Amino acid sequence: MTKVQAGTWVEIEQIVLTPEERAPSLPPETQAVPYVMRVSGFLLEDADLGQEVRIRTLIGRELRGTLRVINPSYTHSFGETVPELLTIGIGDE
């Protein structure tokens, strides 16, 4: 196992709703999986990946969850550039 030192920037995962607690109006494939929250913060005690831990977020909240990622980064984007949108709002004044 990978031992992670207290004070390391990490991401935890918490199950907010189990499949049984999810709304019946959801599509079946969505209903079948838990609703999960992921939060980043500073690890409060040494731990191993997959272990239940406590973190402190940048705004000072203390949360518990399963340690999933060390030094998480953002991987989302707003997609490919759409050339037609680049000139919206640029007028000939």
So where are the chain's domains?
3-85
State the pLDDT confidence band at 93, using cuts at 50, 70 and 90: low
- So what's the architecture of 3-85 in CATH? Roll (2.30)
Distance of CA 21 to the CA centre of its chain: 20
Question: What percent of the chain is predicted at pLDDT more than 70?
Answer: 98
Instruction: Quote the pTM value.
Output: 0.77
Note whether 71 and 79 are within 8 A (CB).
Answer: no
Backbone angles phi, psi at 50, to 5 degrees: 90, -10
pLDDT per position as a tens digit, 68-81 = 999 999 888 889 99
Note whether 4 and 11 are within 8 A (CB).
Answer: no
